[in-house]
A and B are shown apart, each in its own frame.
Chain A
Amino acid sequence: MTSQTKPSGQFKILYFASATSFTNKSEEYLDAPLNSRELFDVLDQMYPGMKASVLDSSAVTRNLEYLDLEDDDPTIFQAGDEVAIIPPVSSG
């Protein structure tokens, strides 16, 4: 499912802030195609507890565009896409 090095047939997922701490990674590759509605469940399976701790309050983007996974029509992440998990950072 995951790979650090083989982008072929996969999409890239970037982790920011608490998503980095939770996964211990700043990025990895996941198998494409993937329905956007399944993203959180796939990640929660890989990193148990991530959905409630991180994902539910995070912004999600594809190719630098904001996505609303709940309200948007489902979309398919394709090979070569860059998806990002962006939790809010509140300190400063």
Chain B
Amino acid sequence: MDQTIRNLREQISLCERQLHALKVQLNNAEERAILEAQAKPEMSFDLSGGGQDAWQMEILGVLGHESPRKNAWPLMPQEYKRYGRQLILPEIGLNGQLRLKNTSVLIVGVGGLGCPAAAYLAGAGVGTIGLVDGDIVEESNLHRQTLHTTEKVGMSKVDSATFYLKSLNPTIKYVSHRTHLNPQNAPDIFRHYDLVLDCTDNPASRYLISDLCVLLGKTLVSASALRMEGQLLILNYPPRAPGDSSGGPCYRCVFPKPPPAETVVTCGEGGVLGPVVGVMGVLQALEAIKVIVDDSHLLSSQSETPSLLLFSAYGTPPFRSIRLRSRRPRCACCSEQPSVSLASLSSGSLDYQLFCGIANPANILNPRERVSPREYAKTLVTTRSVLDRGLPKDHVLIDVRERVQFDLCSIEGSINIPFSQINAPVRSNPSTREQSVASSSSPSTNPDQNAMEVDGKVSEGQRNELVMPWVHFIHKAALEKPIYVVCRFGNDSQVTVKKFKEAGLDLSGRRWVGDIKNGLRGWRTHVDKDFPEY
């Protein structure tokens, strides 16, 4: 039976590889066909569905069309149909459509922002769309990255998106850049485009893309999203040389200092809702179209005030538009004396990773303070049968993930104290803060029954003593038993162990306090492969 399953899997995987190769070949063939069609502007008027009558030739002659086989209109016949609904908008019109057709747009990142942005720009008839991404499609992308589908899991994001876009609009050109952007490869990619969309997901690439757009004179539409919020910026608009104060501000003008690396939260860590990132990507496409069809900035140095649009799904109001300044006089990139140049990019002397800092995985505990998931599992096996009111008898396991994650899945018998509470600053006015602790001993029961509310108030006298409510709770729950700490990946757990020891929870060395290496990810890999991966 196992052999049958293995054989079938191998066959399927072989077929998928062949199918993928065929799709790539088809993409390339279609690309060539479109280019050839564009090179030969031959298009027939289908007036009657048959041959040309003499009277038709005569009328066409009067109209000045020498041959009925030559397209006398600025757009192809099918383009009037395809773009008809936007062509009749006064803001677009024929000129706007021609501008779209003659513009090339580079979309960096084909994820939650890039997918909707690319779909709307392809739909609108932008002549050339370049896609940059070095990632492959993963299952956890599908709730928000709207061009990728379940059967594309494992395929390059650029290929998957191109596949969808070609079926949406086969009449425009798509260029694939299956790579991660870096200071060395970026200038050669950017040069070929008129406008850039930043749809990436980290600070280093945001600064790199903005710097390059200033140096190469491209307008940049930059968007981002996390959890329930998004930000949208139109930068370097109008695009002017560094030092020209009539140019639009760049990313460094708005955010001159990158956030500390350890505070940067990714969508994987912080979460994001599909429509939230989707709305930002759609707005990027909209702003890109506005920039493309309106070239008034080329005529006059007067342009509208640059703005930062904030979207907050639960905000009242949900949208806020911030009026920005013009270029920052001391900006490192777009001012008169910039420190950023194309030479510093290509030589590698400008290190974006260094500028933004690198959040190294925590490694702050000594080996004696850490156990592997397997070692912990052995401990658990000996105590599983003697769970006392849902808790292991001879030790305490504290899970420091946030409550919402703990509620998704947890190791039986673990107690939840969210890291945000352990890490919470000691407040001078903590009266509004609530602390709650939950146990997962009986997941089927109402969690409220297990929630042990701990008084969050810190009295005036305690203010400087760093006595947090969880300290009292742990003293009470753990007595003198060893304390194991677990988190999602094995970083927060180490910080927690340090904090626990600082708070005296190791009872001057009498009690073992340590963490489980690699967290619940390690637990899934080495112990319980059915433990949910999210």
Contacts and interface: CB of A to CB of B under 8 A. Distances in A.
Given A47-B427, A89-B225, A89-B230, A66 B308 contact: yes
Max chain B Cβ within 10 angstroms of own Cβ: one of A2, A46, A64, A89 = A89
Interface stretch (B201-209, B238-246, B502-510): B201-209
A46 B254 CA distance: 26
Contact of A86 (B257, B270, B310): B310
A75 interface: no
B260 A53 contact: yes
Interface string A56-78: 11010100111010010000000
A91 B324 contact: no
A1 to B, nearest CB: 7
A59 B255 contact: yes
Contact of B277 (A61, A68, A92): A92
Interface stretch (B105-113, B131-139, B185-193): B105-113
Contact of B429 (A1, A59, A65, A66): A1
B433 interface: yes
A87 to B, nearest CB: 6
Contacts of A26: 312, 314-315
B38 interface: no
B78 interface: no
B420 interface: yes
B13 interface: no
Nearest to B254: A59
B263 A88 contact: no
Interface in A22-71: 24, 26, 45-50, 52-54, 56-57, 59, 61, 64-66, 68, 71
Interface in B266-289: 266-267, 270, 272, 277, 280-281
B425 A64 contact: no
Interface in B89-124: 109, 111-113
A54 B425 CA distance: 13
B223 A88 contact: no
A65 B320 CA distance: 11
Given A91-B225, A91-B266, A92-B277, A18 B425 contact: no
Contacts, number: 116
A64 B203 contact: no
Contacts of A24: 420, 424, 433
B322 A86 contact: yes
Nearest to A24: B433
B229 interface: yes
A17 B272 contact: no
A71 B112 CA distance: 36
Contact of A4 (B281, B428, B432): B432
Contact of B323 (A2, A45, A53, A64): A64
B528 to A, nearest CB: 29
A26 to B, nearest CB: 7
Interface of B: 109, 111-113, 199-203, 206, 223-226, 229-231, 254-255, 257-260, 263-267, 270, 272, 277, 280-281, 308, 310, 312, 314-315, 320-325, 328-330, 420, 424-429, 432-433
Interface of A: 1-2, 4, 16-18, 21, 24, 26, 45-50, 52-54, 56-57, 59, 61, 64-66, 68, 71, 84, 86-92
21 contacts: A16-B229, A46-B427, A48-B425, A56-B257, A57-B257, A57-B259, A59-B322, A65-B322, A66-B323, A66-B325, A68-B328, A86-B310, A89-B225, A89-B226, A90-B202, A90-B224, A90-B264, A91-B225, A91-B266, A92-B109, A92-B112
Given A24-B420, A68-B325, A92-B226, 7 more contacts: A52-B260, A64-B322, A84-B322, A88-B231, A89-B224, A91-B202, A92-B223
Q: Which 10 A-B pairs have the closest CB atoms?
A: A48-B425, A57-B259, A89-B224, A92-B113, A88-B255, A90-B203, A57-B257, A91-B201, A92-B224, A91-B226
